[in-house]
Chain A
Amino acid sequence: MSIWLLGRLAQAAMVLAVMSVVVHGLMGLMPGDPIDLMIASDPNLTAADAMRLKALYGLDQPWGQRYLAWAGQVVQGELGYSRLFAQPVLAVIGPALVNSLTLMLSALALSLLLAVPLGMVAALRPGSAVDHAINAFAFASASLPTFWLGLMLMLVFAVSLGWLPAGGMQSLGGDGGGVIDSLRHMALPVATLAIAGLGQYARHTRAAMLAEAGQDYIRTARAKGCGPARIALKHQWRNALLPLVTLLGLEFGSLFSGALITETVFGWPGMGKLINDAVMGNDFNLALTALMLATAMTLAGSLLADMAMARLDPRISLR
């Protein structure tokens, strides 16, 4: 187990190193740099100014040299400053990460809370009207564009009914309004993400449950006189959980990279928006750290999923 773990950690370190080169390289290949954009918007910027600023931000250096400088800095535990926000990278990422985790974990929890029972119900009555209805709902939820769904929810619950705020994380001014106020602000973005994710989890649950339904051990349990509820929950569900755990493991990284569209629509300052701004603004330090974090978390999620599967299925051993 410990050798397996060390191997996986070494693999993860390699993946991270390769990713850092790829991400840095892709950002370096993007046309223009922030100083070029500044030249286009500021008629008074002289050639000397442009050269001075490029030198100041290290943009006059060849790509390889810039990458090595960044990597050397990171190895020493120094993540540097964000060019856009003029603050240490961690100070910028910290609040955005908390915001994204709050949003994404709530949405994931709500999504699973609804999707798993729906998937199970559909699997227990395959081909029935209930199954068709759940399938249709799952397809619809997976197909709806999140920006459209978000705006529709906003129009209905915020603009027309006036029940919920249209965006932001808290009421403006004063002390913000406390926990209830925060919950009210979370309601629409969480609902948007939960509905968008619900379909795939329901479909996976249904498929996994159906795959298990034809297994010998289910037939045996039924022959021994087990009731349908006990078979479904005690036997079928436990084995159907395995593909779902793999899926959740792979989704783990996205909790840390946020949801750009939903965050933009609801004015929720999370990681998705931050990463987008950092990449578009050539903020290398910020973009690389945020993307590396998301990659590391995806790898960690995959590792945790493997460990969970070994725990859930005695036939799997970690070697």
Chain B
Amino acid sequence: MPSLFRLLLTIIVLAVPMAAGAKDQLAIGLSQFPASLHPNMESMMAKAYVLGMTNRPMTAFDAKWQLVCMLCERLPTFDNGLAKRETGADGKARVALTYTLPADAFWGDGTPVTTEDVLFTWEVGRHPQSGVGNAEMYRRILKIEAKDAKTFTVHLDRLTFDYNALNDFQPLPAHLERDRFSPDPATYRNRSLYDHDSTRPGLYNGPYRIAQVVAGSHLVLERNAHWRGTKPDFDRVVVRAVENTAALEAQLLSGGVDMIAGELGLPLEQGLALAKRDDPRFQVIFKSGLVYEHMDVNLDNPALADRRVRQALMYGLDRQGMSRQLFDGRQPVAHTQVNPLDGVHAGDVPTYGHDPAKAAKLLDEAGWILKGASRRNGKGEALTVELITTAGNRSRELVSQVIQGQWRALGIDVRLKAEPPRVFFAETVTKRRFAHLALFAWVSAPENVPRTTLHSSQVPSAANNWTGQNYTGYADPRMDTLLDAIEVELDKPKRVELWRQLQHLYAQDLPALPLFFRAEAYVLPRPLTGVEPTGHQDPSTMWIEHWRWRP
């Protein structure tokens, strides 16, 4: 028996893999495996990351946060005549947009991408039983007119400043999917080829196509022979999912994967530790973006309904120090929900530096007087806040502890609570069951109008089936007016001014307490060039054809 064991061990140990030769394959580590591969069903970052390499939406935001055509020849605008104003029967402004699909756009089986695919996608998207999650975009489309095999006109029910963005419109291959959808739309979500025969080349129109799926483990992507654009550098891309980030890092260090995606990889603190190790094989790029870490305030709470108390809480925080100490200064302090990289960011909003004296003065004015170690109001009640966040998120737990310490120094009793993300997001926050403060993040797009988080009509309640994301309960007619105005203002300078007013109001009123814009750690092998982290929801893989291996 011992000799059998020795033999087995010898075979295993001696069979060390041969050193990698020419780089024909890139292995990417992710911390999540995409459950479904259908482009238009549930949204999931792992899926968006993979489909970024295999499929193209009509439009997207690039790394410079500019709207660009991904599957169209030109963005329709009023200047180039491809966008035309229309007026509905109700007198409201509408718009007609003409897009042309690239002449050389093909599915992976050689079938051209045509207006038939566009019409089919719209049909699936607006069907009430198709299972598409966010159907709002499809509902906004009143009609699509096919001019020819490549050109079509979309009629939208309203004219907004982002009228020509069809970022979520991912064409589906009608020649493959129609047979799956038409007989029974209600069961289409369970019969789509994207999940039943994922390696069909005809499902993909990007630089790569999915060649192998090992559920829960990895996906293998191979070059799409019918891709029209720049030829990608790698014959094959493998995406391996390792949920445990310590194990993911071990995979990287042992050569199991070549890189770790920033979009869905190591938490920042782990990325910082890796960067400090200064391993010559890797470079770590930190990209701050549109993930806005903040504390939502429950404005139904009488103490927190007082703006002076919220401002005092802000002055009591040393966010710059937190960023420096906890995140090596990689996470910029947020002053509003608009990122400084966004074109509509206002640089002159009121800011809240660390000023305990000012905080104390504001609390005194609000009637919370320091008695002994705690602040109390006229009725003798102590100023107490419960700060709740997601359990298991080390960064947030650390930040919560620092906040607790800094506010305690002001005499505020701070109680910390951490909940599993599922409970936190599906119950506590969504149903406004947090007593005082909830620490979490919003992910948005460039120039994303915060209607759902700030408009008074978006406060979740049982009556609206707990939809809307205005969890704070913020209701200010000035904010509602600004939100309504921004959406329909087409003139950029005028819109920027409206955005400036919105940010000023936000910074003064503080419906949420801004903390940081989260940074993500992209761990890349040194020879890999051309990877441009975007900092927004469109993943860097959407431009994978420009990634190059330069040893």
Asked whether A151 and B246 contact (CB < 8 A) given A45-B134, A162-B255, the answer is yes
Query: Is A183 on the interface with B (CB-CB < 8 A)?
Result: yes
* B253 contact set on A, CB distance < 8 A: 159, 166
Inter-chain contact B11/A151, CB cutoff 8 Å: no
The B229-271 residues at the A interface (CB cut-off 8 A) are 236, 238, 240-244, 246-247, 250-251, 253-257
B469 → chain A closest CB, angstroms: 6
Query: Is B163 on the interface with A (CB-CB < 8 A)?
Result: no
* B189 contact set on A, CB distance < 8 A: 86
CA distance A45 to B11 in the complex (A): 55
Inter-chain contact B186/A56, CB cutoff 8 Å: yes
B167 → chain A closest CB, angstroms: 11
B47 → chain A closest CB, angstroms: 12
A183 → chain B closest CB, angstroms: 6
Asked whether A49 and B190 contact (CB < 8 A) given A32-B425, A158-B254, A173-B220, the answer is no
CA distance A169 to B425 in the complex (A): 34
The B410-454 residues at the A interface (CB cut-off 8 A) are 422-423, 425-427, 429-430, 444, 451-453
Inter-chain contact A86/B215, CB cutoff 8 Å: no
Inter-chain contact A166/B256, CB cutoff 8 Å: yes
CA distance A44 to B162 in the complex (A): 15
Query: Is B504 on the interface with A (CB-CB < 8 A)?
Result: no
Inter-chain contact A172/B216, CB cutoff 8 Å: no
* A95 contact set on B, CB distance < 8 A: 214-215
B379 → chain A closest CB, angstroms: 34
* B430 contact set on A, CB distance < 8 A: 32, 36, 39-40
Asked whether A37 and B134 contact (CB < 8 A) given A147-B244, A265-B247, A269-B217, the answer is no
The A141-175 residues at the B interface (CB cut-off 8 A) are 147, 150-151, 154-155, 158-159, 162-169, 171-173
CA distance A255 to B177 in the complex (A): 39
Asked whether A40 and B429 contact (CB < 8 A) given A166-B247, A267-B242, the answer is yes
The listed residue (A183, A269, A280) touching B214 by CB distance below 8 A is: A269
Asked whether A264 and B243 contact (CB < 8 A) given A47-B467, A168-B256, the answer is yes
Inter-chain contact A158/B427, CB cutoff 8 Å: no
* B451 contact set on A, CB distance < 8 A: 43
The listed residue (B220, B241, B426) touching A40 by CB distance below 8 A is: B426
Binds A, one of B35-43, B88-96, B355-363, B520-528: B35-43
Asked whether A172 and B426 contact (CB < 8 A) given A44-B134, A84-B35, A269-B215, the answer is no
CA distance A210 to B391 in the complex (A): 47
Query: Is A73 on the interface with B (CB-CB < 8 A)?
Result: no
Asked whether A171 and B17 contact (CB < 8 A) given A31-B422, A32-B426, A159-B250, the answer is yes
* B467 contact set on A, CB distance < 8 A: 39, 45-47, 49-50
Inter-chain contact B465/A180, CB cutoff 8 Å: no
Inter-chain contact B254/A50, CB cutoff 8 Å: no
The B1-41 residues at the A interface (CB cut-off 8 A) are 1, 5, 8, 11-13, 15-17, 25, 27, 33, 35-36, 38, 41
Query: Is B466 on the interface with A (CB-CB < 8 A)?
Result: yes
Query: Is B209 on the interface with A (CB-CB < 8 A)?
Result: no
Q: Mark B206-233, 1 if CB is under 8 A from A, else 0.
A: 0000000011111010000000000000
Query: Is A81 on the interface with B (CB-CB < 8 A)?
Result: yes
CA distance A49 to B430 in the complex (A): 16
Q: Which range holds the interface residue count of chain A? A: 35 or more
Q: Which range holds the interface residue count of chain B? A: 35 or more
The B89-140 residues at the A interface (CB cut-off 8 A) are 128-129, 131, 133-137
* A268 contact set on B, CB distance < 8 A: 217
Inter-chain contact B129/A56, CB cutoff 8 Å: yes
The A245-286 residues at the B interface (CB cut-off 8 A) are 264-270, 273-274, 277, 280-281
The listed residue (A41, A44, A56) touching B136 by CB distance below 8 A is: A44
Query: Is A313 on the interface with B (CB-CB < 8 A)?
Result: no
CA distance A146 to B305 in the complex (A): 48
Closest B residue to A37 by beta carbon equals B426
* A187 contact set on B, CB distance < 8 A: 12
* A265 contact set on B, CB distance < 8 A: 244, 246-247
Query: Is B365 on the interface with A (CB-CB < 8 A)?
Result: no
Inter-chain contact B12/A165, CB cutoff 8 Å: no
Interface centre among A37, A155, A166 (most CB of B within 10 A): A166
The listed residue (B36, B244, B246) touching A85 by CB distance below 8 A is: B36
Closest B residue to A270 by beta carbon equals B216
Query: Is B478 on the interface with A (CB-CB < 8 A)?
Result: no
Inter-chain contact A46/B247, CB cutoff 8 Å: no
* A50 contact set on B, CB distance < 8 A: 465-467
Inter-chain contact A167/B11, CB cutoff 8 Å: no
Inter-chain contact B425/A52, CB cutoff 8 Å: no
Inter-chain contact A56/B217, CB cutoff 8 Å: no
CA distance A43 to B448 in the complex (A): 10
Interchain residue pairs with CB less than 8 A apart (16)? A39-B466, A41-B425, A42-B133, A43-B469, A45-B467, A49-B136, A53-B131, A56-B129, A87-B195, A162-B254, A173-B238, A177-B17, A183-B11, A267-B251, A268-B217, A269-B215
Interface of B toward A, CB cutoff 8 Å = 1, 5, 8, 11-13, 15-17, 25, 27, 33, 35-36, 38, 41-43, 128-129, 131, 133-137, 186, 189-190, 192, 195-196, 214-218, 220, 236, 238, 240-244, 246-247, 250-251, 253-257, 422-423, 425-427, 429-430, 444, 451-453, 464-469
Query: A43-B444, A166-B254 given. 17 additional CB < 8 A pairs?
Result: A31-B426, A32-B422, A32-B423, A33-B426, A36-B466, A37-B425, A38-B42, A84-B35, A85-B35, A95-B215, A151-B250, A166-B256, A167-B250, A172-B220, A173-B238, A265-B246, A266-B247
